Structure 1
């Protein structure tokens, strides 16, 4: 028997709009995508702090953190990467419904997967931030030592080395962390949020 015949969506008496009104700001997902070492998690945590200081409710969903729990059963094959992003897209949707600005920091290398997540949201609720950084700079930083392991054959299917990264076609925001400061990147994102009346 199909799940669709035995499960039904349970509606709350409190709507997303109610929660946004109580919070005093809109909710959305800010989706940071880019190579390993490009600065996605750094920007997400810095933006969370800036929003917190403004009294804006937000939460960071980080790729490594999610793989410690919810997605700890997934590897790094293309199929597992797709499922990783599918799951976090659904979680992000719940957080947005809860009235939060959700900061999702994931390599999310496949364009189709990111577009599938975008399709879960209403207009202006999905803000794609391409954290652009040259592979040379990411490899120079190599904060987790992953590029070195990939070059030495210890990691298979590593994005940017032995697995593809598909750049966003029309992201809402592009920040270039190999030429811009963290402060400038955060300001660009904040300007977008203000100009689009999300905060």
Structure 2
């Protein structure tokens, strides 16, 4: 840490007080998976479902974050690690504020995801693997990224030039090539209910 002479200033209102006022728990649903697997789609679908029921929530999306907070980062292994580190810290702030935050990031390296998990208390971080075969992801290719990567227009593309490390012990797996969006949402809501977060 480069900054010195810092002291953590404890907030007047605690995380527990915010949760009690909200009437629900707070956590991060960390969606990880290949490009085109459905992370952003599922993250926004669960966000809409929670919002409809009066749950304080927010979506942190990979592309959106790179438009602002992380616009200085590229896609080298070092930059990807820093990207995830920053997002982990931001997600922690949202959890402290009493919200359920969904994150949609490829986050290809298990070590980076483990580092983020370590920032949170028990039952505050849930690694959700949005599992979809790369063949199906390429077929969908909503942003034409796979096509560009195959033509050599994009370097360090996960799944093509750069590895994706599937979660070793995900808290939940969503097979988006088998489930509809609504079925995926229902599975996640059920998971949250079992964790007594809703």
Deviation at 1:186, TM superposition (A): 0.8
In the TM superposition, 1:34-183 aligns within 5 A as: 34-183=33-182
Q: Deviations over 1:112-167 (max 9, x none)?
A: 00000000000000011100000000000000000000000011110000000000
- Counterpart in 1 of 2:186? 187
- Counterpart in 1 of 2:3? 3
Structure 2: gaps of 5 or more residues? none
Q: Note closer, same or farther for the CA distance 1:2–1:105 as it changes in structure 2 (3 Å cut).
A: closer
Deviation at 1:13, TM superposition (A): 1.1
The two structures have a TM-score, normalised by structure 1, of 0.98
Inter-partner Cα distance in structure 2 for 1:182 and 1:126: 22
- Counterpart in 1 of 2:20? 21
The two structures have a TM-score, normalised by structure 2, of 0.98
Inter-partner Cα distance in structure 2 for 1:151 and 1:28: 37
SS in 2 for 1:169: coil
Inter-partner Cα distance in structure 2 for 1:179 and 1:56: 28
Aligned length: 198
Inter-partner Cα distance in structure 1 for 2:187 and 2:71: 33
Q: Deviations over 1:5-53 (max 9, x none)?
A: x111111110000000000000000000000000000000000000011
Inter-partner Cα distance in structure 2 for 1:175 and 1:181: 10
SS in 2 for 1:3: coil
Deviation at 1:2, TM superposition (A): 6.0
The alignment yields a C-alpha RMSD, in angstroms, of 1.0
Structure 1: gaps of 5 or more residues? none
**Runs of 4+ with deviation above 3 angstroms:** none
Inter-partner Cα distance in structure 1 for 2:189 and 2:2: 44
